[in-house]
């Protein structure tokens, strides 16, 4: 079980380090072991930052991350290192998460070696197996990342993670560089492995069709905060937050088979996380805005078993 409580990260940026980017601002959720939480939201709303905080690649401004009741954020370096192999993140950007000086084979072998997962004489067999699992072939093993395509590298990253067989996988846009057919293969693979090994996924994506298939629950984020969270079925079928609704309607418009007519897109610009709007963060673009929204920030409230929404007017 993974539990996140009041997770917060403010970056100071700008020449004088004076502007504060409130990348993540008091986010809480739980993921039951063996299930998938989908995390969606506008570009720049803080999804990757949440992943990096859970992995403790950056230190939070505030908050708590519990993994099987172990408080990850207070762990000492040594203890953290012990728990690392059990938690892995697939980074959004495959090319920069591979070492350009290492061949693909060496890259995949490395975690096997470091964590002593597979004995030396079985390693090359294991690498070949992993390469095949993700739909690549032996001819790729001796190449460097620059000699592979974007989507091939993305699958090398996945193979590396699967080599470790962690309990928790934070998958940040794991199929963004794949064509739809190979994407379907990889998503099926991830689902099969989840069933087999009881993996827990935090699945970050912009593709709502993908998240609908992959996630048991969905969290929708806007400017550093969760605005809605619930069972996939409820969030898609009975979206309550105006932002979630706008997201779903924009998605229909971009569908390849959809009628080629213009739908009303979300109006207005995304406010910067630097000068955050007062009250509800979404009020500058919300079609249902009232005075109260500009003053008072709504809390996430449960409207039905497990379905929470942060809006004054639902």
Partner 1 sequence: MSSLEIIDLKTHFPTPDGHVRAVDTITLSIMENETFGVIGETGCGKTVLGLSVMRLLPPTATIAGKIRYAGRNLLEVSEAEMRRVRGEEIAMILQNPTTSLNPVIRVGEQIAEAIRLHQGLNKRDAKKKAVEMLDAVKIPSPAERANEYPHEFSGGMKQRVMIAMGLACDPALIIADEPTKGLDVTIKAQIVELIQKVTEKKAMLLITHDLGVARELCDRIALMYAGELVEYAQIKEIFENPLHPYTRGFLGSLPDQGLVPIPGISPSLIELPDGCRFHPRCKYTTDVCKQKHPEMIEVAEGHFVRCFHA
Ligand X SMILES: Nc1ncnc2c1ncn2[C@@H]1O[C@H](COP(=O)(O)OP(=O)(O)OP(=O)(O)O)[C@@H](O)[C@H]1O
CB of 129 to partner 1, least distance (A): 14
Whole-angstrom distance, CA of residue 104 vs CA of residue 175: 18
Q: 117, 118, 193, 213: which one contacts partner 1 (CB under 8 A)?
A: 213
**Listed ranges 44-52, 101-109, 245-253, 301-309: which one lies at the site for ligand X (CB under 6 A):** 44-52
Length of the chain: 314
CB of 140 to partner 1, least distance (A): 9
Each residue 174-213 as x (binds ligand X by CB under 6 A) or -, in order, gives ---x------------------------------------
Residues in contact with ligand X, counted by CB under 6 A, come to a total of: 20
Q: 112, 131, 148, 246: which one contacts ligand X (CB under 6 A)?
A: 148
Q: Which residue is nearest to ligand X (CB)?
A: 151
Name the token pair of 179. 């064509």
Interface positions, 79-98, toward ligand X (CB under 6 A): 92
- Which CB, 34 or 135, lies closer to partner 1? 135
Interface positions, 256-275, toward ligand X (CB under 6 A): 273
CB of 211 to partner 1, least distance (A): 9
Residues in contact with partner 1, counted by CB under 8 A, come to a total of: 71
Each residue 127-166 as x (binds partner 1 by CB under 8 A) or -, in order, gives --------x-x-x--xx--xxxxxxx-x------------
- Which CB, 36 or 240, lies closer to Mg ion? 36
Which residues neighbour 263 within 8 Å (Cβ) at sequence distance 6 or greater? 249, 250, 252, 253
Among residues 101, 110, 165, the alpha carbon closest in space to that of 133 is found at 165
Is 108 near partner 1 (CB under 8 A)? no
Each residue 32-71 as x (binds Mg ion by CB under 5 A) or -, in order, gives ----------------x-----------------------
């Amino acid at each position: 079980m993974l539990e996140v409580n009041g997770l917060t990260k403010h970056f100071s940026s700008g020449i004088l380090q004076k502007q504060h980017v409130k990348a993540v601002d008091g986010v809480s959720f739980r993921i039951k072991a063996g299930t998938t939480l989908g995390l969606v939201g506008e570009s720049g709303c803080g999804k990757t930052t949440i992943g990096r905080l859970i992995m403790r690649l950056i230190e939070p401004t505030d908050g708590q991350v519990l993994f099987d009741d172990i408080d990850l954020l207070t762990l000492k370096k040594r203890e953290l290192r012990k728990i690392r192999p059990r938690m892995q993140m697939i980074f959004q950007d495959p090319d920069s998460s591979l070492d350009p000086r290492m061949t693909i084979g060496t890259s995949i072998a490395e975690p096997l070696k470091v964590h002593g997962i597979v004995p030396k004489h079985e390693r090359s067999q294991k690498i070949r197996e992993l390469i095949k699992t993700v739909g690549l072939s032996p001819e790729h093993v001796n190449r460097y990342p620059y000699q592979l395509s974007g989507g091939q590298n993305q699958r090398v990253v996945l193979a590396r993670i699967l080599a470790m067989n962690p309990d928790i996988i934070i998958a940040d846009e794991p199929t963004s560089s794949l064509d739809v057919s190979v994407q379907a293969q990889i998503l099926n693979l991830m689902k099969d492995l989840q069933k087999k090994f009881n993996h827990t996924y935090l699945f970050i994506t912009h593709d709502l069709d993908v998240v609908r298939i992959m996630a048991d629950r969905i969290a929708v984020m806007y400017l550093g905060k969760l605005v809605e969270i619930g069972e996939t079925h409820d969030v898609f079928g009975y979206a309550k937050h105006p932002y979630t609704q706008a997201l779903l309607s924009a998605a229909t418009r971009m569908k390849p088979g959809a009628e080629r007519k213009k739908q009303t897109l979300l109006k207005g610009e995304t406010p910067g996380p630097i000068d955050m709007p007062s009250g509800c963060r979404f009020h500058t673009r919300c079609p249902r805005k009232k005075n109260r929204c500009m003053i008072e920030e709504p809390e996430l409230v449960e409207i039905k078993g497990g379905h929470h929404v942060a809006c004054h007017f639902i």
